[in-house]
Structure 1
């Protein structure tokens, strides 16, 4: 192939990610022309409603997947945490490049950590998972919805709309951004979203892309993502539910920690499982079953009932 097209969202971070893969492809295949097709997704269009209340899965990928299926694009680069566990027939996320930092960051103008925030301070986040874990650690804080791209969120922080905000560390690193003060919210105290910090490359299962893209795959990262997505699949969860998962492995054994709670951080269920890396996805599914049996089904029922 002399020319391929990458479908991507149009945000600054999404374009960084797509251009990162573009440069790796052009470096690997001399003379290859790589174009970007920018697509506005449902999640990009609806900015005045909390993500959890928009409903549905695939808010940031559906229109991009349509471009893959109708041939306008050859591959798509996603933030893997945005990708639903069920893909349209004929498509596959077969390549996971090396994962970036999977932690979250607390960003502020005046306060250097969660502990330093004053009583009743406002914390902005679009994620129920982040909000629930913040509330569990500091029940006195007011968690408020925060939408928009990375730059918009940082601007709202600097303009004083929030005392602090929580965002993925990976996005800050990739765009080389920083806030006046920041601190990591990291395992074991604060668990990341499923596949946070990982990119996923999606393409047609029966096309030529699998072989062409194989050099980009990072197997250690892929194993982590498989275990974490197994947990998410087992809970049938999406952005409407406070679900977190954190997988580690030594090349032979996967250790997975899973988390589920009510939206206010109450009734947390945190459980662990481990097994061989070849069974990473099944280990995630099994851990989800254990969480459901421990009361997770009641939490899911309550959370969906609130929406």
Structure 2
């Protein structure tokens, strides 16, 4: 019998899909078999908005505890859901190449953001998305929503009837004109046909780390030399530099993943460019800044995020975003 490793995942369709993708890639590289360990997290069982749940880390804590207890060898997270402070005893061993970073509009009658009717109801559980939507179109009505991707899609007029998913509540179907979701999750689930418009980062900057996966092991390693080597080779340096800069900015602003903060880094030739936005939750005030540095090390990416955040704080970002 061949040696195998155990990968921990949440039970949602998106979590199991992206975990399965990452685990299969690692199995191919390492030559090991895979066992999947399903872990129920607080975010899966507690109702209420992301903001009231505390946002940061609500989906990750139980998975990380299972990893620390040696109940699995590897955990796969959506990086944007992880707190910026790394817990003792665990390390992000691999950040694979990033999926689409953008937010996506999924609307009734395939209307674009500019074409939605006056006062249209748009669903999102993210204060960051809500603030940037209102900054772009102050007439929109933002409706706070939770649930998995099919459940959220089911809230849009005309879309719910086309979804074959038992978790879509018929009582809440069709009450919204549109929802905003991460394009990466839609694409991973094969639901990109429901995307009406990919929102340009000039309109809506994504969450720090959006579109990236974080593959986490114990600081001492996974317990499998072949898996540790596979994780090292599967890591994408450009993606790691980008998300490190974004998360360094978020950490310096002392903001969690539920804060109205957006950030996106990209490599431009020999430079790493970081764009960031801090918004008043009602969209009435927006501070947008960018900075660049040499794309030569993880340390320089950390410093880029820190420097940009500190300049934004000096200009009043904490007050703008309601963090002060």
The two structures have a TM-score, normalised by structure 1, of 0.94
1:100 & 1:178 partners in 2: Cα distance? Answer: 13
Aligned: 1:272 with 2:271:
no
> For each residue in 1:110-136, what CA deviation from the matched residue of structure 2 results, as whole angstroms up to 9, or x when unmatched?
242111111111000011111111101
CA gap 1:145/1:303 in 2 versus in 1, 3 angstroms: farther
Query: Residue 21 of structure 2 aligns with which residue?
Result: 20
> For each residue in 1:137-183, what CA deviation from the matched residue of structure 2 results, as whole angstroms up to 9, or x when unmatched?
11001001110011111112233121000001111111111455601
1:4 & 1:251 partners in 2: Cα distance? Answer: 38
Bigger drift between 139-148 and 176-185 goes to: 176-185
Contact 2:135–2:285 (CA<8 Å) still a contact in 1? no
> For each residue in 1:244-264, what CA deviation from the matched residue of structure 2 results, as whole angstroms up to 9, or x when unmatched?
001011352111011111111
2:270 & 2:261 partners in 1: Cα distance? Answer: 26
Structure 1, unaligned runs of 5 or more: none
Q: CA deviation at 1:67?
A: 0.6
Query: Residue 10 of structure 1 aligns with which residue?
Result: 11
Contact 2:106–2:197 (CA<8 Å) still a contact in 1? yes
2:39 & 2:66 partners in 1: Cα distance? Answer: 9
Bigger drift between 101-110 and 248-257 goes to: 248-257
Q: CA deviation at 1:3?
A: 1.7
1:254 & 1:181 partners in 2: Cα distance? Answer: 29
CA gap 1:272/1:50 in 2 versus in 1, 3 angstroms: same
Alignment of 1:149-164 (within 5 A): 149-157=148-156, 158=159, 159-164=173-178
Counterpart of 1:173 (choices 183, 187, 205) is 187
Q: CA deviation at 1:303?
A: 5.0
Query: Residue 242 of structure 2 aligns with which residue?
Result: 224
Query: Residue 237 of structure 1 aligns with which residue?
Result: 255
Contact 2:7–2:36 (CA<8 Å) still a contact in 1? yes
Aligned CA RMSD, in angstroms, stands at 1.6
1:99 & 1:275 partners in 2: Cα distance? Answer: 21
Give the match's secondary structure for 2:231: helix
Give the match's secondary structure for 1:23: helix
1:43 & 1:134 partners in 2: Cα distance? Answer: 25
Query: Residue 296 of structure 1 aligns with which residue?
Result: 317
Give the match's secondary structure for 1:264: coil
Query: Residue 50 of structure 1 aligns with which residue?
Result: 49
> For each residue in 1:206-233, what CA deviation from the matched residue of structure 2 results, as whole angstroms up to 9, or x when unmatched?
2245434112101111111111111111
Aligned: 1:84 with 2:83:
yes
Contact 1:246–1:256 (CA<8 Å) still a contact in 2? yes
The two structures have a TM-score, normalised by structure 2, of 0.89
Query: Residue 35 of structure 1 aligns with which residue?
Result: 35
Q: CA deviation at 1:188?
A: 2.0
**Equivalenced residues, count:** 301
Query: Residue 257 of structure 1 aligns with which residue?
Result: 275
> For each residue in 1:182-206, what CA deviation from the matched residue of structure 2 results, as whole angstroms up to 9, or x when unmatched?
0111222221110110001111112
Aligned: 1:214 with 2:213:
no
CA gap 1:2/1:214 in 2 versus in 1, 3 angstroms: same
Query: Residue 216 of structure 2 aligns with which residue?
Result: 202
Contact 1:109–1:179 (CA<8 Å) still a contact in 2? no
Give the match's secondary structure for 1:115: helix
